[in-house]
Amino acid sequence: MFSNILSAAIQGINAQIINVETDMSNGLPMFNIVGSPGPEVKEARDRIRAALKNNDITIPASRITVNLSPGDLRKDGTAFDLPMTIGLLTAMEYLPGGCAGNMLFLGELSLDGEIKPVRGVLPIVQTAARNGIKECIIPIDNAKEGSIVPGIKVRGARTITEVIMYLMTKDEDILPSVYTDPLSIIEKCNDIIPDFDQVKGQERAKKAAVISASGFHSFIMTGPPGAGKSMIAKRIPGILPPLSLSESLELTAIYSVAGKMPKGKALVTSRTFQSPHHSISRNALVGGGADPKPGIISLAHRSVLFLDELPEFGRDTIESLRQPLEDKTIHIARVKYSVDYPSDFLLVCAMNPCPCGYYPDRGKCRCTENEIKHYLAKISGPILDRIDLCTELKNIDIYEIRDGKGGISSAEMSEMVMKAREMQDKRFKGTSYRFNSDLKADDMEKYCELGEKEFELMEKLYKELSLSARSYHRILRVARTIADIDGKEYIDSNHLLEAASFRPTMEYFKWG
């Protein structure tokens, strides 16, 4: 007998429908899986045999061939256990023919028949809905994640027995369909993020954080240990605008494919804060691997990627940020696969001015000039040239600690950010741009128009600061964001001077 059951495989953060074809015939008993299966997929035959045996179902001594079509696409993971089991039971005529028509199956089987969660459920269910598939049967632990997709019935199953009974009877009480309105989940989001009013002093760094969040400008902070660099970075997600539904779905798809979705959670409803340790490998940062998964920079999509102690990261690791910062996507090409992952993240970095952290205070700094140069040389010019904002933090005065005043709060900063973002939404409506940081050189004159006085100022800055063309455009982008924060339609001289002031000021830390 022959059967054809629908399932799906992950490609990047998208999915492709897979036909699980099962043929059972006379011949030497064997269970063969073809169609570019990965190691986990090949192991499925042992899980299927044990699961059926422990549920009192005996596989006859026959020649069993399972083909995962299309055959040229590599299949990895354990999600094919359930569709292969249903295909086998249909080929055995244990299940009536046609009972699984226009249905997609997904799930890993334990040896006792329990259906375990798998990754990539959201993009798979979305793909099934787009292809006109009417029902999806998925693990119960993934049911909430799949239930946010409209136009398709999603059923969560605990065991293979439940699935068999449902297919035989079509009794919806056995596997009821579930649907969750994603908008209701986003509205209920109330994640608690530390407030900026807890940061004493450092008002200039807070202003830089507002500019960064408003225009999605990359941001680096320098200063001695304990100045508040990490405190500021951790509070930036709290002043970013809430995720839109499309952003939430996109980020959830990434987390689902990476296998990072919290159990029982349907959506990622708030912007994330990714802060990898400096020992992280390049592959862990950008993604990939034998069974490709998104890396940290993709998990920070539409959110914040914080690299603390930037020079302590491997040079290759830091250099791997160049393409994603420029293209907003990461392309991973290997011998057996090629995938693209979105990586439109807000890069926030922090670093000490030297290995010991106290330069230029020669009363405390123990570093030699060569040690400082070697330390800073780990960060290349091309990487620094892609960072829009830099501010230097100083140790705060004891009186600022004692007076208890924290200055501007996250609520006030968020209001400033939302004001600027509204102006950008209006300006870029109908274009591919979302933030001022996205502006390309070709469109600078259109969106960053300068008056005669402002152009003369930029000409002077260009010559005196020895700017490159990229640095010139970077100042214009930042000035455009500062003008938006002020509610101004046009950039004036004060905006340009403030934008230029956020270039590095330390003599040994120049670029541009």
pLDDT digits (tens, 9 = 90+) for 344-395: 999 999 998 888 878 877 778 888 888 888 888 888 878 888 889 999 888 7
Lowest mean pLDDT among 61-70, 174-183, 260-269, 448-457: 260-269
Give the pLDDT of residue 419. Answer: 94
Contact in structure between 88 and 48 (CB atoms under 8 Å):
yes
Which residue carries 């190691």 as its tokens? Answer: 39
At residue 326, the pLDDT reads 86
> Are the beta carbons of 136 and 121 closer than 8 angstroms?
no
Cα 84 to the center of its chain, rounded Å: 31
Exposure b/e, 310-319, CB count within 10 A at least 16 = b: bbbbeeebbe
Query: How many residues make up the chain in this entry?
Result: 512
**227-278: per-residue pLDDT in tens?**
889 999 999 999 998 888 889 999 999 999 999 988 778 888 889 999 999 9
Q: What is the pLDDT of residue 507?
A: 45
- The per-residue pLDDT for 86 is 97
Helices (H), 280-345: 282-286, 296-299, 315-319, 322-327
How is residue 121 annotated by DSSP? Answer: H
Q: How are the residues of the chain apportioned to helix, strand and coil, as percentages rounded to the nearest 5?
A: 40, 20, 40
Q: Which residue has the tokens 């930037």?
A: 310
Question: What pLDDT is stored for residue 512 in this prediction?
Answer: 35
CA distance 209 to 417: 10
Q: Is the predicted pLDDT of residue 291 greater than 80, yes or no?
A: no
Q: What is the pLDDT of residue 355?
A: 86
User: Quick check: pTM over 0.75?
Assistant: yes
Q: Where are the domains of the chain?
A: 2-180, 196-435
- The mean per-residue pLDDT over the stretch 219-225 comes to 90
Cβ–Cβ < 8 Å for 409, 495: no
pLDDT at 398 over 90: no
Mean pLDDT (whole number) for 177-200: 79
Task: Determine the pLDDT at residue 335.
Answer: 72
The pLDDT assigned to 357 comes to 79
The answer to whether residues 266 and 180 touch, using CB atoms and an 8 Å cutoff, is: yes
E-strand ranges in 13-72 read 14-25, 30-34, 63-69
116-120, 155-159, 184-188: range with lowest mean pLDDT: 184-188
Q: What is the pLDDT of residue 511?
A: 37
Q: CATH assignment of 2-180, given 3.30.429.10, 3.90.1300.10, 3.30.930.10, 3.30.230.10?
A: 3.30.230.10
Residue 510 has pLDDT above 80, yes or no: no
Please list, in sequence order, all residues whose beta carbon lies within 8 angstroms of the beta carbon of residue 156, skipping any fewer than 6 positions away. 138, 139, 140, 141, 142, 143, 146, 175, 178
Please check whether residue 146 is in contact with residue 179, taking contact to mean a CB–CB distance below 8 angstroms: no
42 phi/psi in degrees, rounded to 5: -65, -35
Domains 2-180 and 196-435 share a fold: no
- Whether the pLDDT of residue 85 is over 70: the answer is yes
- CA–CA separation, 247 vs 280, rounded Å? 27
| Residue 184, C-beta contacts closer than 8 angstroms, at least 6 positions apart | none
Q: Which residues contact 410 (CB under 8 A, 6 or more apart)?
A: 193, 195, 196, 197, 235, 238, 239
Q: How far apart are CA 57 and CA 140, in angstroms?
A: 23
Residue carrying structure tokens 């946010």 = 148
> Pick the residue with more confidence: 17 or 512?
17
- The conformational region for residue 65 under phi > 0 = left, psi -120 to 50 = alpha, else beta, is beta
SS3 312: helix
Contacts of 279 (CB under 8 A, 6+ apart): none
Per-residue pLDDT at 402:
62
Q: β-pairing, 135-139 with 115-116?
A: unpaired
Distance linking the first and last C-alpha atoms of the chain: 70
Place of tokens 């302590």: 312
Does residue 316 have a pLDDT over 80? yes
What is the chain's mean pLDDT, rounded? 89
Q: Nearest-CA neighbor of 301 among 244, 346, 267?
A: 346
Residue labelled with tokens 């009417």: 134
273-274 and 304-308: which strand pairing? parallel
Percent residues over pLDDT 90 in the chain: 62
- If one compares 202 and 190, the residue with the highest pLDDT of the two is 202
Query: Can you spell out the DSSP letters for 412-434?
Result: HHHHHHHHHHHHHHHHTTTSS--
Determine the Cα–Cα distance for residues 468 and 490; give it in Å rounded to an integer: 23
- pLDDT of residue 145 exceeding 70, the answer is yes
Q: Dihedral through CA 350, CA 355, CA 359, CA 364, nearest 10?
A: 120
Between helices 121-130 and 245-258, what is the axis angle to 10°?
Answer: 120
Query: What tokens does 511 get?
Result: 């670029």
Confidence of residue 332 (pLDDT cuts 50, 70, 90): confident
pLDDT tens for 418-471 read 999 999 999 999 998 989 999 998 898 899 999 999 999 999 999 888 888 888
What DSSP line would sit under 134-181, residue for residue?
Answer: -EEEEEGGGHHHHTT-TTSEEEEESBHHHHHHHHHH--TTTS-EE---
* Bond preceding residue 353 cis, omega within 30 of 0: no
Mean pLDDT of 70-98: 93
Q: What is the pLDDT of residue 188?
A: 59
- The domain 196-435 having CATH identifier 3.40.50.1820: the answer here is no
